[in-house]
Amino acid sequence: MTAETQPAGLVADHLTCERGGRTLFAELCFAVAPGGALLLTGPNGSGKTSLMRVLSGLLPPRAGRVLWQGKDTAEEPAPWRRALAWLGHDNAIKPQLSVSENLAFWARLTPAARGVDEALEEVGIGHLADLPAAMLSAGQRRRLALARLGLTRGGCWLMDEPTVTLDTASLARLSAMIARHRADGGLAVIASHDALDLPGAQSLDLSGFAVAP
């Protein structure tokens, strides 16, 4: 495949990832178009988090490329970083700051397309805006982290286990949020064990790419 024939959106081009001398997956390829979604599944230790970190650029792959809008993200990280919204295992919340202060900081760092209040309302914690983040429950902290993604319009959401500690109502809200994001022309790559309502999403089972030791 050459750059000219690459579709818009996110493309993984023959990715191979090695951690601690062990090859987690090899020759992994996929493409997600704008408006699309990809659900990553696989047993614990199959490399879902490593794949997410490779896609984000935090972890260099041993071989292969990650392309955003047809451009290699390792060579041209700037457009990718502007489009990328990352949700890792940790929520990156400072307990000393209030809920809205936490979100307002990220709104100043990223080109935020939506207001802080709007993003907090979307995840259902708008009434907690002035509370210190230290007072939040685990589920509310996860929702505050999700609100950070809600600041963006379009682009690519990389979500590693977004449903951890969320209750059923929040799960429905998350599905709606992802649907809204996709309707805006954004795309999402989601690693999750939970059943999320993702109409028309591709799915990828990482155990199929495992390399026999």
Partner 1 sequence: MNAFLATIARDLRLATRRGGEAALTLGFFVVAITLFPFGVGPGPELLGRIAAGIIWVTALLAATVSFDRLFRADMEDGTLELLALQPLPLELVVLAKAIAHWLMTGLAVTLLAPLMGLMLNLPGDAYLPLIAGLLIGTPSLSLLGGVGAALVLGARRGGALIGLLVLPLFLPALIFGVSAVEAVLIGMPLAPHLLILAALLAVALPVGAFGGAAALRLALE
- Among 29, 58, 74, 195, contact with partner 1 (rule: CB under 8 A): 58
Residues 100-119, interacting with partner 1 (CB under 8 A): 101, 105-106, 108-111
68 binds partner 1 (CB under 8 A): no
Minimum CB distance to partner 1, residue 148 (Å): 8
Minimum CB distance to partner 1, residue 55 (Å): 11
91 binds partner 1 (CB under 8 A): yes
Which one of 40-48, 75-83, 116-124, 192-200 is the stretch in contact with partner 1 (CB under 8 A)?
75-83
Label residue 7 exposed, middle or buried (CB < 10 Å: 0-12, 13-18, 19+): middle
129 binds partner 1 (CB under 8 A): no
Find all residues with CB under 8 Å of 58, minimum gap 6, and list them.
Answer: none
The HSE-up count of residue 171 (CA atoms within 13 Å, CB side) is: 14
Q: How many residues bind partner 1 (CB under 8 A)?
A: 26
Spatial CA neighbour of 122 closest among 199, 175, 191, 185: 175
* Alpha carbons 187 and 182: distance in angstroms, whole number: 6
